[in-house]
């Protein structure tokens, strides 16, 4: 571990180097200020996405593409203020103050300010001005500002901010990026510029705190200490290395005295907002002029869409289109993949003959992995829509529209964003809860999110519905579609009931707050969308190629071994008997029947068969045979595995003659000839899948987000119990 | 355009008022102040969600959303003059 840099103004060449970068620049800005688009433009494809240690907030790092110095840019989550309320905001503050373990203190800060929103942007800039590292400003969306009739005098702005570099840019077209790159090249190592403090009393008190501190303390950090206090119990992450921790009582007494002197009886946060915004207004007066402009078309559309009824109806229409598209658009691609895997399996069988290796490749690998990969188109389409909704600013609108409804179950509109994201995957959904400031609201949302029908449940639903729900039509409605819609609805209801239950019991507390900036709708940035979609697709295929591949091979081996010695002579005997009494087509048919029967007997005495029979007892009340039970058990680490397991089991077993998996399932029978997959059983199985927390990744993310095993353990037992009870109820009522 | 003294919650659609006083005892309200809802700024009532709650306000051209009960903590006065 390299030593952390302590002094201010050390030449860059003397800074100990971490990860081949000469210097690091943190990129800070308001949400929706165009920060990430600018970051992508500046770093191109060099960026890496990781996590901050201990939390699931994504860490985006990339190399600045310009000049001879290797400068690393760190894209921080959007924030309005350095007064951290949520986990993401805490990350911003900890990174720029160099308090986050394992993350180097940035050598400079780039503040991204939206030119159409100088008011809030300059508030954050003002808080950043007490930093002990140089600061520069990228003024984004200057084209939009001009179109809105905002005239900004950059020269005056620069002068009012103490002469720090201010670079107007249009990130979408690349205008002004050359100059910004040159400024960033020069920035690390230059002296930070002291400015006339906007709030002299606070600056003076902060200065006294800096002198009293036993370690290096930036003026801005001292100001935060005065305003926010040394302790914030709303946040779960430890406040790493705060100066007041080390020097106990004396510091605390000084801090309290200074706080009383500066704030009196006024709440510090309120006073900060009053003083700083007054200063911002004074700057705006000199810098910005509003001239008449035509109302932009998208603002007019937004205004119309935002009215109460169009807004609410629009939300439901948008969601309906998303789910419709997932099924309608994906079908041709899925058929293509299906045909491809079938051809591949046939080709390998032709190549490898009839032995064990052929069975491993075609029944194990291709049948197993192929049955999961086929859902790639649906998953990509779903993610595409979620990403588009988020990037266009619509999800914030959804939060606003649903706030009243969410309030009735003890949550706020802010919980709707994690829930909608969870339709794609609960892992990013649960990560999206970090914008919720209150811990109780956050945990209730985290526990509701896994009930949303995620893309990994989709393969299971799609398979079972296609196989067992008749494709009847009622007018424009299709019964299969209705059942699927019902399952989505069921997931929502269960999630909401869970949240309600928790808010009435373990997580009782005051009503969650709600305050939200509503961004204008904007055209999603294609680069950003493509990059995110690519990442998601890659992750899915990676899982299919590793975890699911491994599971498919293991399941195949468990189903293939041990080979029975007694079986071969028995089969031979039956074949001779048949040959004696039959001929022609009837004989071929008899042979096929004997082979299938042999395969079934082999499977039943295989390890998988024995294991399945062992757990069958638990699942018999639900109408599941040992094969389904085995598949369900195998699916606990990742629920989409169940499709792969069913694919493998039924490819090895006696239904292998049927062309595809749904037909194979449909022809599965109990020993007495009754079909296994009856409608009540299938519906029960669907309910089980709708509830059960069969996803190791979700459990891991809940553990990380809640800092312990208590909530993930609760979620697992709770959801599994509900799934089992629901499946039992449906099966018993239906039979 | 005319607004009698009252709170943000009493603004009608399309009306603009100037914030004159904020009851800042509640941390939630302090949070809203951090977003720029402080004394001396003009706020326009843009629209509401279904059922009249939450509100959507315009603050320096940007949209901000808050609940009625929060809006009641902001005293406003009518804007002198016409236009924005």
pLDDT digits (tens, 9 = 90+) for A266-291: 999 999 999 999 999 999 999 998 87
- pLDDT at res. A106: 92
Least Cα separation, residue B78 to chain A (angstroms): 19
Angle, helix A710-734 to helix A696-706, in steps of 10 degrees: 140
Tell whether A84 and A182 lie within a shared domain: yes
- pLDDT at res. A66: 65
Which residues numbered 397-456 in A keep a CB inside 8 Å of some CB on B?
400-401, 403-404, 413, 437
Angle B49-B54-B58 (CA atoms, 0-180°, nearest 5)? Answer: 90
- pLDDT at res. A64: 85
pLDDT-derived band at A597, boundaries 50, 70, 90: confident
Residue A529 clears pLDDT 50, i.e. is over it = yes
Structural domain count, chain A: 3
B50, A269: Cβ pair inside 8 Å?
no
Q: Beta A288-290 vs B16-22: how paired, if at all?
A: unpaired
CB pairs under 8 A between A and B: 122
**Residue after which a domain boundary falls, among A474, A504, A534:** A504
Structural domain count, chain B: 1
Residue A15 clears pLDDT 50, i.e. is over it = no
What domain range is A426 assigned to? 321-504
- pLDDT at res. A283: 94
Domain contains A718: no
- pLDDT at res. A653: 53
pLDDT (mean) for A80-100: 86
Tell whether A458 and A419 lie within a shared domain: yes
Closest partner residue to B34 (CB to CB) among A266, A273, A278 is A273
Domain contains B81: no
- pLDDT at res. A131: 87
pLDDT-derived band at B4, boundaries 50, 70, 90: low
Task: Return d(Cα A715, Cα A562) in angstroms, integer.
Answer: 37
Residue A19 clears pLDDT 70, i.e. is over it = no
pLDDT in tens, A226-270: 998 765 433 333 344 444 444 456 677 888 889 999 999 899 999
- pLDDT at res. A677: 86
pLDDT in tens, A629-686: 888 887 777 787 788 778 777 765 555 555 567 777 877 777 777 888 888 899 999 9
> How does A302-335 read in b/e, with b if 16+ C-beta sit within 10 Å?
beebbbeeebbebbeeebeebbeebbeebeeebe
Which among A10-19, A538-547, A611-620 has the top mean pLDDT? Answer: A611-620
Residue A212 clears pLDDT 50, i.e. is over it = yes
Q: In A, which residues are within 8 Å of B71 by CB distance?
A: none
Domain contains A518: no
Domain contains B15: yes
Contacts of A202 (CB under 8 A, 6+ apart): A223, A226, A227, A262, A272, A275
Domain contains A732: no
Tell whether A465 and A599 lie within a shared domain: no
ipTM: 0.92
Residue A9 clears pLDDT 60, i.e. is over it = no
Q: In A, which residues are within 8 Å of B54 by CB distance?
A: 400, 403-404, 413, 514
Q: What residues form DSSP beta bridges with A24?
A: A72
Task: Return d(Cα B77, Cα A353) in angstroms, integer.
Answer: 87
CB distance from A516 to chain B under 8 Å? Answer: yes
User: Scanning the structure block, which residue is given the tokens 């985290």?
Assistant: A446
CA distances for A665 relative to A468, A556, A558, A634, angstroms? 9, 17, 20, 17
Least Cα separation, residue A172 to chain B (angstroms): 21
- pLDDT at res. A675: 84
Domain contains B50: yes
Tell whether A54 and A124 lie within a shared domain: yes
B35, A413: Cβ pair inside 8 Å?
no
pLDDT in tens, A104-133: 889 999 999 999 999 999 999 999 988 889
Q: Choose between A567 and B59: higher pLDDT.
A: B59
Contacts of A13 (CB under 8 A, 6+ apart): A22
Q: Choose between A157 and A459: higher pLDDT.
A: A157
Domain contains A733: no
pLDDT (mean) for A6-22: 46
For the record, the structure tokens of A635 come out as 């699916």
A120, B66: Cβ pair inside 8 Å?
no
The SS3 call for residue A538 is helix
- pLDDT at res. A236: 31
CA distances for A700 relative to A430, A457, A695, A705, angstroms? 11, 18, 9, 9
Q: What share of chain B is helix, strand, coil (3-state, %, to 5)?
A: 20, 35, 45
Which among A287-291, A302-306, A440-444 has the top mean pLDDT? Answer: A440-444
CB A74 within 8 A of CB A59: yes
CB A119 within 8 A of CB A308: no
Domain contains A120: yes
**Count of CB atoms within 10 A of residue A285's CB?**
9
> B interface mutation test: which of A123, A272, A400, A438 has the most B CBs within 10 A?
A400
- pLDDT at res. A231: 52
Tell whether A453 and A589 lie within a shared domain: no
B41, A274: Cβ pair inside 8 Å?
no
A85, B31: Cβ pair inside 8 Å?
yes
pLDDT (mean) for A568-592: 79
What domain range is B24 assigned to? 6-75
Tell whether A431 and A578 lie within a shared domain: no
- pLDDT at res. A50: 64
Closest partner residue to A267 (CB to CB) among B24, B63, B70 is B24
Tell whether A285 and A351 lie within a shared domain: no
Q: In A, which residues are within 8 Å of B32 by CB distance?
A: 515
Tell whether A496 and A433 lie within a shared domain: yes
Q: In A, which residues are within 8 Å of B53 by CB distance?
A: 403-404
pLDDT-derived band at A51, boundaries 50, 70, 90: low
For the record, the structure tokens of A200 come out as 């002299």
- pLDDT at res. A234: 33
pLDDT (mean) for A692-712: 86
> A interface mutation test: which of B36, B74, B84 has the most A CBs within 10 A?
B36
Domain contains A704: no
Tell whether A430 and A571 lie within a shared domain: no
- Which of A148-152, A201-205, A537-541, A615-619 comes out lowest in average pLDDT? A537-541
Tell whether A46 and A163 lie within a shared domain: yes
pLDDT-derived band at A515, boundaries 50, 70, 90: confident
The SS3 call for residue A507 is coil
CATH of the domain at A53: 3.40.50.300
What DSSP string runs through A592-659? Answer: HHHHHHHHHHHHHTSHHHHHHHHHHHHHGGGT--HHHHHHHHHTSSBTTHHHHHHHHHHHHSTTTTSS
- pLDDT at res. A82: 92
Q: What percent of chain A has pLDDT over 90?
A: 23
CB A174 within 8 A of CB A41: yes
- pLDDT at res. A361: 82
Residue A4 clears pLDDT 70, i.e. is over it = no
Residue of A nearest to B30 (CA): A270
Mean pLDDT in chain A? Answer: 81
Closest partner residue to B36 (CB to CB) among A272, A277, A413 is A277
Tell whether A106 and A193 lie within a shared domain: yes
Residue A49 clears pLDDT 70, i.e. is over it = no
- pLDDT at res. A239: 40
- Which of A332-341, A396-405, A637-646, A709-718 comes out lowest in average pLDDT? A637-646
- pLDDT at res. A170: 92
Least Cα separation, residue A443 to chain B (angstroms): 19
pLDDT in tens, A451-484: 999 888 888 888 888 888 887 777 767 788 888 8
CATH of the domain at B67: 2.30.30.90
């Amino acid at each position: 571990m390299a030593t952390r840099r302590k002094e201010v103004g050390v030449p860059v060449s003397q800074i100990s180097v971490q990860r081949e970068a000469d210097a690091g620049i943190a990129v800070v800005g308001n949400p929706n200020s165009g920060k990430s688009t600018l970051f992508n433009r500046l770093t191109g494809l060099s960026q890496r996405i990781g996590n901050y240690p201990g939390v699931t907030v994504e860490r985006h790092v990339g190399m600045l593409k310009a000049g001879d110095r290797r400068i690393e840019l760190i894209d921080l989550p959007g924030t309005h203020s350095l007064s951290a309320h949520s986990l993401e905001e805490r990350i911003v503050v900890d990174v720029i103050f160099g308090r986050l373990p394992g993350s180097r203190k940035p050598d400079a800060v780039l503040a991204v300010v939206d030119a159409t929103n100088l008011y809030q942007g300059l508030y954050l800039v003002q808080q950043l001005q007490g930093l002990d590292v140089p600061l520069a400003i990228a003024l984004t969306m200057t084209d939009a500002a001009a179109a809105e009739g905002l005239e900004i005098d950059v020269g005056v702005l620069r002068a009012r901010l103490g002469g720090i570099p201010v670079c107007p840019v249009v990130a979408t077209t690349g205008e002004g990026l050359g100059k910004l790159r040159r400024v960033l090249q020069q920035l690390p190592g230059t002296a930070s510029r002291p400015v006339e403090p906007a709030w002299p009393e606070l600056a003076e008190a902060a200065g006294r705190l800096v002198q009293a501190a036993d370690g290096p303390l930036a003026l801005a950090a001292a100001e935060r200490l005065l305003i926010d206090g040394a302790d914030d119990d709303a946040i779960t992450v430890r406040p790493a290395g705060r100066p007041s921790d080390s020097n106990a009582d004396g510091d605390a007494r000084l801090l309290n005295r200074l706080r009383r002197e500066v704030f009196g009886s006024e709440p510090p946060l309120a006073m900060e907002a009053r003083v700083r915004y007054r200063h911002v207004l004074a700057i705006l007066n000199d810098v910005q002029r509003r001239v008449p402009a035509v109302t932009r078309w998208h603002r007019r559309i937004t205004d119309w869409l935002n009215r109460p009824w169009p807004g609410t109806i629009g939300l439901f229409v948008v969601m309906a289109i998303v789910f419709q598209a997932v099924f309608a658009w994906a079908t041709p691609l899925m058929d293509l993949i299906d045909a491809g895997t079938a051809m591949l399996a046939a080709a390998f069988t032709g190549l490898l003959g009839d032995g064990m290796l052929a069975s491993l490749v075609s029944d194990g690998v291709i049948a197993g992995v192929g049955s999961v990969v086929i859902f790639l188109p649906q998953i990509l389409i779903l993610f595409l829509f979620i990403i588009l909704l988020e990037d266009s600013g619509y999800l914030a609108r959804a939060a606003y529209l649903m706030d009243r409804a969410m309030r009735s179950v003890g949550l706020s509109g802010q919980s709707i964003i994690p829930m909608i994201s969870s339709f794609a995957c609960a892992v990013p959904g649960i990560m999206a809860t970090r914008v919720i400031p209150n811990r109780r609201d956050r945990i209730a949302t985290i526990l509701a999110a896994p009930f949303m029908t995620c893309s990994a449940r989709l393969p299971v639903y799609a398979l079972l519905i296609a196989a067992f729900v008749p494709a009847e039509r009622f007018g424009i409605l299709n019964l299969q579609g209705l059942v699927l819609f019902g399952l989505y609805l069921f997931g929502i209801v269960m999630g909401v009931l869970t949240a309600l239950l928790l808010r009435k019991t373990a997580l009782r507390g005051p009503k969650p707050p709600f305050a939200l900036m509503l961004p204008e709708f904007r055209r999603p940035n294609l680069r950003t969308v493509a990059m995110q979609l690519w990442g998601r697709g890659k992750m899915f295929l990676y899982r299919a190629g590793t975890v699911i591949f491994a599971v498919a091979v293991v399941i195949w081996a468990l189903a293939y071994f041990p080979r029975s010695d007694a079986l071969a002579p028995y089969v031979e005997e039956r074949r001779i008997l048949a040959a004696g009494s039959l001929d022609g087509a009837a004989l071929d048919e008899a042979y096929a029947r004997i082979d299938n029967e042999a395969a079934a007997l082999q499977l039943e005495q295989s390890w998988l068969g024995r294991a399945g029979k062992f757990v069958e007892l638990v699942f018999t009340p639900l109408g599941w045979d040992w094969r389904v039970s085995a598949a369900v058990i195998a699916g606990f680490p990742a629920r989409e595995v169940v499709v792969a397991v069913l694919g493998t089991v039924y490819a090895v077993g006696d239904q292998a003659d049927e062309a595809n998996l749904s037909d194979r399932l449909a022809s599965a029978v109990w020993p007495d000839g009754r079909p296994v997959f009856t409608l009540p059983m299938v519906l029960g199985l669907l309910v089980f899948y709708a509830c059960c927390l069969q996803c190791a990744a979700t459990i891991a993310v809940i553990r990380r987000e809640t800092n312990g095993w208590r909530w993930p353990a609760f979620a697992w037992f709770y959801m599994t119990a509900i799934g089992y009870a629901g499946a039992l109820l449906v099966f018993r009522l239906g039979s | 355009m005319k607004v009698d003294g009252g709170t943000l919650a009493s603004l009608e659609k399309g009306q603009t008022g100037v914030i004159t006083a904020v009851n800042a005892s509640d941390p939630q309200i302090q949070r809203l102040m951090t977003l720029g809802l402080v004394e001396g700024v003009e706020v326009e009532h843009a629209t509401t969600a279904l059922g009249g709650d939450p509100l959507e306000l315009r603050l320096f051209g940007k949209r901000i959303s808050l609940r009625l009960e929060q809006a009641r903590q902001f005293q406003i006065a009518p804007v002198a003059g016409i236009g924005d």
